[in-house]
Structure 1
Amino acid sequence: MTSLVDIRDDGGIRVMRMNRPDKKNALTAAMYDAMAAALTGTRTDQAIRCVMLAGAPGAFCAGNDLDEFRQAAADGEGLNDSVLRFLHALAYCERPLVAAVDGLAIGVGTTMLLHCDYVVASAAARFTTPFVGLGLVPEAASTLLAPRLMGPRRAFAMLVMGEPLDAAGAQSIGLVNAIADSAEVEGQALAAARKIAALPPEAVLASRRMIRGEPEELAERIDLEADFFRERLQSPEAQAAFAAFFARKK
């Protein structure tokens, strides 16, 4: 477990808070492992009726830690086991997922929301998926879920062209359910989670399964994307894009 993810149970709600504000909640392997464990732990904990994802004020999640991506490229690897454990945990999670999004949601910070059942965003929230601009491909089964949610053209604009979305734009394509002031985002998300947790759990589970379809389909797409991701991370395009990015940071 890592202190960079805060896990607490509030009644029937498991709150998972990414807690690396100095890096805008860019995710490390240890953070992925902690969140995967928290999600998989709900399978045997019948007291947990809903899971809520949250970040720090002004930054929900800035995506994967790019230093770890750079190291993975140097080692000839792709998405590491920790990332895949977390993505599979999202796909197989049987508890409803609620998210409270304030500020930046970049890369996996956006694609993880496609697995959520209810999302509250602040008016200041900004969503972007810059995978292709870095010479990579999208992940988290987003190439399957995004076209289903918003249609192939909007999915192409978001996932391939990397066009950013504000909160209103995200709501218009179904990525966000409700928009609130930054100070009220978590309160509204928690209220939604409590409403879900108060419903008959077996009826919720059965209904959610029918709405979402088979998790094996999501897992298969996650693994397919990971194969392409590994290949792309070694490509000259990705290496040039990462070199340019880190040169700008100096």
Structure 2
Amino acid sequence: MNEAPESAAVGTGYSTVAIKDVGPVRLVLLDRLQVRNCLDLVLRRELAAAIREADADPGCRAILLAGNGAVFCAGGDIKTLNADPVAGRHRLALAGDITRAILGCETPLVAAVEGGAWGAGLALAAACDVVVVGRRARLAASFGRFGLVGDTGAFYVLRQRVGAARAKEMLLLNTTLNGDQAVAEGLATYVADDGDARRVARDLALRLAGAGEGANTWTKRIIHQDQQDFESVLEAEIGAQLDLLGGSSFAEGQRAFIEKRDPCWWDDLGAEPVTAQLERTIGGDVQ
């Protein structure tokens, strides 16, 4: 199998985030292996910046968020916390800005959770569009174990994922879920065998990256819009369809349907079916 294309210029200057481009998918890796990818101030700043950088790159069609090593993210660094209100507000604002970057990202974002995601790490995973979790991974809000309440947008993203009643239980009782339970509760999207979550997440990211230009962006905009009554959603759908109907992606999709073939939406890769493009471009594994 051919080596996957990799951009050495992407993400230069980061010390706690590793970046790798694999075809149209950008791997964003929390890289504080020695402390189970705990979120210090540097990682908070760099992770938010890396997500925004990926979203602004027209060559990036999907983002894969994962942790280096056996754990996705163990949350905040409890040992460094103190009661200084100025430092505390700054630290919490930086954590919340990562979730803000994820929720504001118009590029589809897939989280691969191996080992576990606790506290702020759980909030970050739950904010992603698609969450793949290892079967024996552990997911818990865990803030209450330290006499604290949720942060990093945990109240918002957990309620969005599992509803108010279940979010309340997770935050009050510090409930721990395994992979199968997380999927059953709606906290995660797919469960994978242990050690396989990143590969499954990569395949899903490739499927998302293979969509026609603009379709995923519009889907996320409509799902996330503030007004969700029927009439406002209907109007948003009409606006999106009219925009896409005039684009080159629909023209190619329509031709492909008539000609009974796969569409070729990646102009930069030439006239080749999407499925073949994905297989050829991904090349090596995302590990």
Runs of 5+ unmatched residues, structure 2: 1-12, 227-287
Q: Could you list the per-position Cα deviations for residues 192-222 of structure 1 after superposition, in whole angstroms to 9, with x for gaps in the alignment? A: 00000000131111111112234xxxxxxxx
Partner SS state of residue 59, structure 1? coil
- 1:24/1:43 Cα in 2 relative to 1: closer, same or farther (>3 Å)? closer
Partner SS state of residue 175, structure 1? coil
User: What is aligned with 1:41?
Assistant: 53
**C-alpha deviation, 1:20, in angstroms:** 1.7
**C-alpha deviation, 1:141, in angstroms:** 2.7
User: What is aligned with 1:240?
Assistant: none
User: What is aligned with 1:245?
Assistant: none
Letter in 1 for 2:100: H
Contact 2:103 2:128 in 1 (8 A): no
CA separation in 1, counterparts of 2:20 and 2:221?
A: 25
**C-alpha deviation, 1:54, in angstroms:** 0.6
CA separation in 2, counterparts of 1:40 and 1:151?
A: 28
CA separation in 2, counterparts of 1:174 and 1:26?
A: 25
Contact 1:97 1:116 in 2 (8 A): yes
CA separation in 2, counterparts of 1:143 and 1:183?
A: 29
Contact 1:113 1:175 in 2 (8 A): no
CA separation in 1, counterparts of 2:16 and 2:55?
A: 23
Greater RCO (Cα-Cα under 8 Å, separation 6 or more) = 1
Higher helix residue share:
1
**C-alpha deviation, 1:182, in angstroms:** 2.3
When the two structures are aligned, how many residues end up with a matched partner? 212
Q: Any residues of structure 2 matched to 1:160-179 within 5 Å, and which?
A: 160-179=172-191
**C-alpha deviation, 1:98, in angstroms:** 0.1
* Aligned mate of 2:141, from 129, 142, 158: 129
**C-alpha deviation, 1:49, in angstroms:** 1.1
TM-score calculated relative to the size of structure 1: 0.78
Partner SS state of residue 112, structure 2? strand
User: What is aligned with 2:167?
Assistant: 155
Contact 2:39 2:76 in 1 (8 A): yes
* Aligned mate of 2:95, from 76, 79, 83: 83
CA separation in 2, counterparts of 1:87 and 1:181?
A: 27
Contact 1:56 1:102 in 2 (8 A): no
CA separation in 2, counterparts of 1:104 and 1:150?
A: 18
CA separation in 1, counterparts of 2:152 and 2:201?
A: 22
- 1:4/1:145 Cα in 2 relative to 1: closer, same or farther (>3 Å)? closer
CA separation in 2, counterparts of 1:44 and 1:76?
A: 31
Letter in 2 for 1:107: G
- 1:68/1:117 Cα in 2 relative to 1: closer, same or farther (>3 Å)? same
Letter in 1 for 2:179: A
CA separation in 2, counterparts of 1:84 and 1:117?
A: 17
CA separation in 1, counterparts of 2:17 and 2:207?
A: 25
Please say which of residues 53-62 and 190-199 is displaced more in the overlay. 53-62
User: What is aligned with 1:197?
Assistant: 209
CA separation in 1, counterparts of 2:215 and 2:14?
A: 34
User: What is aligned with 1:13?
Assistant: 25
CA separation in 1, counterparts of 2:158 and 2:85?
A: 31
* Aligned mate of 1:210, from 204, 222, 238: 222
**C-alpha deviation, 1:120, in angstroms:** 1.1
- 1:43/1:58 Cα in 2 relative to 1: closer, same or farther (>3 Å)? closer
Runs of 5+ unmatched residues, structure 1: 215-250
- 1:57/1:123 Cα in 2 relative to 1: closer, same or farther (>3 Å)? farther
User: What is aligned with 1:30?
Assistant: 42
User: What is aligned with 1:65?
Assistant: 77
Letter in 2 for 1:28: D
Partner SS state of residue 46, structure 1? coil
Partner SS state of residue 58, structure 1? coil
Letter in 1 for 2:59: A
User: What is aligned with 1:94?
Assistant: 106
CA separation in 2, counterparts of 1:75 and 1:174?
A: 35
**C-alpha deviation, 1:149, in angstroms:** 2.4
